[in-house]
Amino acid sequence: MTPTRNTQALAREKTLVVHSHAKINLYLDVLQRRRDGFTNIETLFQSVALQDTLEGSVSSDEIHLTCNLDDLPTGPDNLVCRAASLLRAVSGVDRGAQLHLTKRIPVAAGLAGGSGNAAATLVLLNRLWQLDWPVQRLLSLARKLGSDVPYCLIGGTVAATSRGVHLEIINLPAPLWVVLVHPPVQISTAAMYTHPRLTRNTQQRFAGKTPAFRRALRALRDGAWVRVVFNRMESAAFAEYPELADIKAELLSRRCLAAAMSGSGPTLFGLCRDEQDATAVASGFSGLQTTVVPMCARGLQFDSQDTLVDYTS
């Protein structure tokens, strides 16, 4: 297909850049299996200032992705390509995009890097293709791409239930600094959900939340981090990879306010009151990759720093 004059002009004039932030799970509980094969969870998501960067410009009718990591597949199964193809199919646009992804968030690390990339794609192409869709319409597509993608559109501090797609924004009392420890371990999320050591919360939910989750949210409002931070999947992951339990114990011994594994792992995190404390904690992990970052209030942002999404329930 020959590009239209409008497409050619946009390609010359617009190259947009969107940064997608990593997330940690301050709280993660596993509830019952659902009839659709998924599992209900209760979680407290938090964005942190470790980010990937997606650059995009209009091309002809093709969607083409490149990446700074040679070993990361950039074909149609990549979440960036899947998000772009879904948005184009639903919107009916006849444009393509040239996309380049710079990865800094470790892959398959429990930090939702791929989900954040998909969310960045939806927002970038919504503006690049001049669709001007509201966030609720983008959220409907995000739910089709993965359980973490809707949250990644919003970012900040969010309580999530069901499959993790029912979202409620939380006002964080005081942002903290986070030490991320990245052990060289590969963990299968599916294997963790079926692991014999994984127990499930069988409490009855009231108005969509279990008593345990309600207690954690009250503790969050009080800034009682030791009563907030929890990950039920640690029992399965630590049984298979005891070195992860050792890292958590080391974080706590270095006087982090609280520590846990993020998602199904393998990344672990410790919470600190300020950058100085976080840097001191990270310096003790010789031989392991660490990242020191603050919590942040958004999941995505353009280079111009403008807020991308104002979520209203």
Domain boundaries, the chain: 5-168, 172-294
Give pLDDT, residue 208: 87
b or e along 203-228 (b: 16 or more beta carbons within 10 Å of the residue's beta carbon)?
A: eebeeebbeebeebbebbeeebbeeb
Say yes or no: domain 172-294 is CATH 3.40.1410.10: no
Give pLDDT, residue 128: 95
CATH topology match: 5-168 vs 172-294: no
Give pLDDT, residue 313: 40
288 beta partners: none
Give pLDDT, residue 256: 97
* CA-based R_g, the chain, Å: 20
Known catalytic residues are 23, 148
Residue ranges of the chain with per-residue pLDDT less than 50? 1-13, 310-313
Give pLDDT, residue 311: 46
Give pLDDT, residue 305: 57
Distance CA 187, CA 107 (A): 11
Give pLDDT, residue 248: 98
Distance CA 217, CA 209 (A): 10
- The CA-based dihedral angle spanning residues 208, 165, 176, 124, taken in that order and rounded to the nearest 10 degrees: -160
| CATH T-level fold of 5-168 | Ribosomal Protein S5; domain 2 (3.30.230)
